[in-house]
Amino acid sequence: MWARVVEVLLACWLGVSPFVIPEASRTHPRYAVDYTAALLVAGFSLFACVPRRGVWRMGTFAVGLGIAVAGWCGLGNEAGAQNLLSVGLLLAMFAVIPTQASELPRSWKSGEEHRDSP
């Protein structure tokens, strides 16, 4: 669950980063990428918290890779592009972590054997 919390925090950072790292023009496409990615990541991360919907985190993984590529291609000024690249890589790393990573997978638990000898 902690990975999803960090993803939502990173989504918040993406949402405010146009104000922290502004472009010369208010209509620069980087702003659209920042806001869209923030909304998508927050949505995917929250959906992934629903039981048996953990696979939604792969959406966050895809968005992370997407904005990392956008940053690598130099979308925006240098600081903005580096922000996209580093946040994208971070998101991709967190998105790999399953929501219930701290527990043994459910399929192993279902075969759990509680045995006491007589």
Partner 1 sequence: MQIRLWWDDTAPVAPFSYNPSSWSNRIPICLLAGVATLISIHLALYQWRLIDEPWDPVFGGQSAKVLDSEPSEVMRSWIRLPDAALGALAYLGDLIFGLAGSTKRWFGRPWLVILFGIDVIPLGAVSVVLVILQGTVVGSWCFLCLVTALISLILIVMAVDEVWSCLKYLLGVWRRGGRAQCWQAFLGKPTEAGRAVVREMTGAR
Q: Which residues bind partner 1 (CB under 8 A)?
A: 2-3, 71-72, 74, 81-82, 85-86, 89-90, 93-94, 96-98, 101-105, 107-108, 111-117
Minimum distance from CB of 63 to partner 1 (Å)? 17
Closest to 91 in 3D by CA, of 53, 34, 41, 32: 41
Query: What minimum distance in Å lies between the beta carbon of 8 and partner 1?
Result: 16
Q: How far is the CB of 113 from partner 1 (least distance, A)?
A: 7
Closer residue to partner 1 in complex, CB, 1/50: 1
Q: Which residue has the tokens 């590529």?
A: 69
Closer of 50 and 93 to partner 1 (Cβ): 93
User: Residues 81, 75: contact at Cβ < 8 Å?
Assistant: yes
H-assigned helices in 21-105: 29-48, 57-72, 78-96
Residue 105, burial from CB neighbour count under 10 angstroms (0-12, 13-18, 19+): exposed
Considering the complex, state which of residue 3 and residue 38 has its C-beta at the smaller distance from partner 1: 3
> Are the C-beta atoms of 58 and 95 separated by less than 8 Å?
yes
Cβ proximity to partner 1, 12 vs 93, nearer residue: 93
Q: How far is the CB of 65 from partner 1 (least distance, A)?
A: 14
Helix (H) / strand (E) element for 111: namely none
